[in-house]
Chain A
Amino acid sequence: MREEIAIGLLYSVTGTYGMIGRDVLDGAMLALAENAAKDACPVRFRPVLRNPGGNIEAYLSMGADLMARDGCRHVLGTITSIARKEIIPLVEKHDALLWYVLPYEGFEACENVIYTGAAPNQHIVPLFEHMLAQYGSAVCLTGSNYVWGWEVNRIARELVNAVGGQVLGERYLPFDDTDTARLIDEIERKRPDFVLNNLVGTSSYAFVRAYHALGQRNPDFAPEVRPVVSCNLTECELPAIGAEAARGHLCSAIFFENADSDESRAFRRKVTRAYGAERRLSAYLVAGYEAVRMLERTIVQTGSSEIDIVRRALYAQEFSTAAGPLRISAETNHASLTPHLGRINGHLSIDIIEKAAAPIPADPWLVNFDTSEFARNVHRRRGGGRQLRAVR
């Protein structure tokens, strides 16, 4: 009899950011199905699914259920930082391990959380190094009204100031608010070189569509001239925006489906078998999949699902993932990741335009970030020099 390990999956697959939750969950379920099919594997997972539906109150009660009643010591879960911060005290209380796999705003390193999504030095910093050099340094910032947008926009402001640029506007929408008229109006008046979009879910999709309408009315706002850039928009959400409206804007992520590697091609084959050839790959799908695989491999290696043993074994190895090599730092519990920069093409997919040469360790407090070095890098790029390896 194989050891059966309860694994909690706490994702909102309905509600304003349900598409993201669905993608992460599908990735996790793919790895769990693979696990179940491996007769020789000494570890078998028992997935316990909960859907808080984007309702912040539900995270706490469902999280408590997962850990107290269902005995889950490992929980993959939460999309937004509000939800993560809400359940961290609970995870600490039960001495469980939360696998948080989404890009986030940093300034956190909980002993009971493994962070496999990008931290700011892995998303906004490389994205802005490109944008400030290629498009200019007059910027409008926008976001959903909570910590993700607030903090990433604060960092963006610091980056813009570092190169002597100007933040022309900063505006927030409540969750699920799709009334973007004032936002669009302000952007049209202020004519930024580009717009940073930290909106989440339905607000983000509505904004990109409205920006497209603006661009059709006024060619000055075509994506080639003044693009919208995001650190939290992936292939899985593009259908909600529409191919034409999404085309030409830029995104930062740790994976795009057009990645050219053996690992990503192997992942593509598995996804096609499980979900059909039409299924888009995304950083979120990969994140759910790889987190379960890392957990499986570590438990097989150590013969234990005790979180202290798992954690120590995680630090000691390098994982080969669809998004490239990945290590978990013993100092920060964060993953080293390879930042990619992509441009949305007209076929609901994202073409890679730049990629870091090697994985970059997370720096959740931006301890090693140096504004003058950042300014020098931007300056060098303006002169035609390249810090990141250009792809294609």
Chain B
Amino acid sequence: MSPPRQSNFRGRRALILHRANGDTGRLARQLERLGMIVECAWPDFPAGGEFADVVLFDADNGHPGMWPWAEGEAPVPLIALFGSELPSRLEWALDQGISAHISKPIRSSGVFSALVVAFANFAAAAEAAARLARLEARLAARPLVLHTLVALMTKCGLTEEEAFACLRRAAMNERLTIEDFCARLDEFRLAALTRRLMPVAGQGGRK
């Protein structure tokens, strides 16, 4: 079973970017019922708004340049408030990187589920992005790992498997990934490592 997702929003700050009307009143009331601190602003992004924990914005009238961050790089979950369902507006909202949406007119039901979904999607996307960054870094370090592997094989007379096992053990001893370990190996350290491995390789060779 996956760990429980966030469903308590007490003390969280919500920023509503929407012209004040009945919808924003109902929305603010519902968010306050959930224990949230609510700020409403329109049309300008308010000072300090970037410290909100979630931003709910008018997707019908939102426009380029409304954020203090680059488009699609919101540091918090975004929830689109849709009235119109025009493909151009949906497209624009998706480009902002929304984590959930609520349809207007806003009712008492639907706000809580949108929040839970938005926080969960945002967390999942952040986790996926971090994972992707890790994998890309490993991919980038591939030539370096190969270089070290070949150096160990040639200087110590190891097979590919033996060289890799040595490398993994050495990286683990220093609590590093193999890629990070290889990145830190200059010629001097590599020489030290090969010296340490020589007797092992020698024993292996006598058998």
Report the minimum CB–CB distance from B76 to chain A (whole Å): 20
0/1 per residue, B27-48, Cβ < 8 Å to A? 0001011110000000000000
Contact in complex: B8, A367 (CB < 8 Å):
yes
Report the minimum CB–CB distance from B181 to chain A (whole Å): 39
Contact in complex: A367, B112 (CB < 8 Å):
no
- B107 partner residues in chain A, CB cutoff 8 A: 92, 110
Say whether B154 faces chain A, with CB atoms less than 8 Å apart. Answer: no
Within 8 A of B (CB), among A79-120: 88, 92, 107-111
Say whether A14 faces chain B, with CB atoms less than 8 Å apart. Answer: no
DSSP class of A's interface residues: helix, strand, loop or mixed? loop
Say whether B10 faces chain A, with CB atoms less than 8 Å apart. Answer: yes
Given A110-B108, A110-B109, are A331 and B33 neighbors across the interface (CB < 8 Å)?
yes
- A88 partner residues in chain B, CB cutoff 8 A: 109
0/1 per residue, B55-89, Cβ < 8 Å to A? 00000000000000000000000000000000000
Contacting residue for A108 out of B34, B35, B109, CB 8 A: B109
Closest to B30 in A: A109
Say whether A365 faces chain B, with CB atoms less than 8 Å apart. Answer: yes
Contact in complex: B10, A109 (CB < 8 Å):
no
Given A331-B33, A367-B35, A368-B35, are A111 and B108 neighbors across the interface (CB < 8 Å)?
yes
Given A366-B8, A367-B10, A368-B10, are A109 and B35 neighbors across the interface (CB < 8 Å)?
no
Chain A interfacial residues counted at CB < 8 A: 16
Say whether B205 faces chain A, with CB atoms less than 8 Å apart. Answer: no
Say whether A180 faces chain B, with CB atoms less than 8 Å apart. Answer: no
- A107 partner residues in chain B, CB cutoff 8 A: 112
A111 to B26: give the CA distance in the assembly, Å: 10
Within 8 A of B (CB), among A335-392: 364-369
Closest to A371 in B: B8
Closest to A92 in B: B107
A88 to B110: give the CA distance in the assembly, Å: 13
A88 to B161: give the CA distance in the assembly, Å: 66
Contact in complex: A365, B108 (CB < 8 Å):
no
Closest to A364 in B: B33
Report the minimum CB–CB distance from A322 to chain B (whole Å): 29
Contact in complex: B33, A365 (CB < 8 Å):
yes
A107 to B7: give the CA distance in the assembly, Å: 10
Contact in complex: A109, B4 (CB < 8 Å):
no
Within 8 A of B (CB), among A94-152: 107-111
A366 to B35: give the CA distance in the assembly, Å: 10
Closest to B1 in A: A157
A19 to B4: give the CA distance in the assembly, Å: 36
- A364 partner residues in chain B, CB cutoff 8 A: 33
- A92 partner residues in chain B, CB cutoff 8 A: 107
- B9 partner residues in chain A, CB cutoff 8 A: 367
- B7 partner residues in chain A, CB cutoff 8 A: 365
Say whether A158 faces chain B, with CB atoms less than 8 Å apart. Answer: yes
Report the minimum CB–CB distance from B100 to chain A (whole Å): 17
Closest to B36 in A: A367
Report the minimum CB–CB distance from B23 to chain A (whole Å): 13
0/1 per residue, A191-221, Cβ < 8 Å to B? 0000000000000000000000000000000
Say whether A35 faces chain B, with CB atoms less than 8 Å apart. Answer: no
Contact in complex: B4, A365 (CB < 8 Å):
no
Contact in complex: A367, B109 (CB < 8 Å):
no
B7, B32, B33 pick with most chain A CB within 10 angstroms: B33
A368 to B10: give the CA distance in the assembly, Å: 7
Say whether A178 faces chain B, with CB atoms less than 8 Å apart. Answer: no
- B33 partner residues in chain A, CB cutoff 8 A: 109, 331-332, 364-365, 367
- A109 partner residues in chain B, CB cutoff 8 A: 30, 33, 108
Contacting residue for A158 out of B4, B30, B109, CB 8 A: B4
Closest to B29 in A: A331
0/1 per residue, B106-120, Cβ < 8 Å to A? 011100100000000
A345 to B32: give the CA distance in the assembly, Å: 43
Closest 5 CB pairs of A and B: A367-B35, A367-B10, A110-B108, A365-B34, A109-B108
16 more CB-based (< 8 A) A-B contacts, given A367-B9, A369-B8: A92-B107, A107-B112, A109-B30, A109-B108, A110-B109, A158-B4, A331-B32, A331-B33, A332-B33, A365-B7, A365-B34, A365-B35, A366-B8, A367-B34, A367-B35, A368-B35
